[in-house]
Amino acid sequence: MSQYRKSLGLLDLISFGVGGTIGSGIFVVPGIAAGIAGPGSILAWLLVALSATCVMFSLAWASSKYPSTGAFYSIYSSVFGKRLSATIVVLYMISAVFGIATIAAGIGQYISYLGYSDILRVEIGVIIFFATVNIIGARPSSNIEMILTLLKTIPLVILAFLLVPHIRPENFTPFFTGNMNDFLRTVIIVYWCFTGFEISAIPADETKNKNDIHRSLIIVMLIVTFVYLFLNITLMGSLGSLVIASSPAPLAKAASVAVKSSGNIMAFIGIIAMMSALNAYLLAASRVLQNISFEYRLPFVSDIGKNGTPFIAIMISAIAGASLLLFSNHFEQLATISVITTLLPYLFICASALKMFDSLKIRIISTVGLLSAMVILVASIY
């Protein structure tokens, strides 16, 4: 049987992590969050950033001890045993498949903003295209990921700077416009924007230097947190919560305020960003599926082709994501399910780090990540 090819470096891992995290969420969620919690939604972005950072450090420490493709199973099985570990990994695969569908639905929202109505065909076509790229090889997938990540991240930072002169203090008052339940709903949907950073740790067997995994996770979270907080503060301050909530493409609306007639340009950037995230999620879902199939000796699904890619696992992940769009094309529903199924693996990552290490610093950070993920998970269920 063919093996994975060690073709990925630090920049590749960073691009997959940033690409998987800064995707459909930042282009859609600010409007949803502002509509639920008003200016107070900014606090949700800050709290989620703190929680996700604690989970990220827990994963970085744990994966440095058990680096392997799929990341999660080798970590969980060393602490919780094979049966529970398999269940948690399956949950992550479900979340990744819902992530693929959610991102594709986000692409559809921005396609509709541009005036095109046959969005389902476009969404499924994009999934097929990136599945094909991933089957060809990790290197072509990574090259595309780097380009798309730069094309989306740099304009977002530029947009935030352009919005600074338009900030008005009155757009932040009243700061809290809803109740605690509304705020918790906002935290849940905002968490979707921070999921995906773990993709940096997933293709471990395709990485030239496994020490890059730890470094890439930290760099990814620094970039993501800066972009999200800076952009949401300037977005709220310049447009106000009512205007943001009324638009299906809030960043395109903000771009038209900063520079007239630039809304369509930002819509195209949004589509690029979501394509980047979809590419990263396909890589993540397929590698985790291949890894768990290999552990349980499932025929065909665990196979790696001559190109060094798990081609059958990629096809299954793509078909599953595309199929979900036939049942639901609503971004908020898909994102909420994806968050719920992601939080449990995150929670167990923190619990694994707690059991693996005696360091007080690691224990404190892992506890914060575990408790915050648990609170958000309970809130999302009830």
Q: 99-147, pLDDT tens digit by residue? A: 888 888 878 777 876 777 778 888 889 999 999 999 999 999 999 999 9
**pTM of the predicted model, to two decimals?**
0.89
Give me the pLDDT at residue 104, please: 85
- Amino acid (1-letter code) at residue 202: I
DSSP for 279-313 reads HHHHHHHHHHHHHHHHHTT-TTTT---TTSS-HHH
Percent of the chain residues topping a pLDDT of 90:
38
Does residue 364 have a pLDDT over 90? yes
d(CA 347, CA 375) in angstroms, rounded, equals 10
Name the residue with higher pLDDT: 309 or 330. 309
CA dihedral 46, 52, 55, 56 (to 10 degrees): -110
Confidence at 366, pLDDT banded by 50, 70, 90: very high
Give me the pLDDT at residue 66, please: 74
Mean pLDDT across 269-287: 90
Which CATH architecture does the domain made up of 10-381 adopt? Up-down Bundle (1.20)
Confidence at 82, pLDDT banded by 50, 70, 90: confident
Name the residue with higher pLDDT: 106 or 262. 106
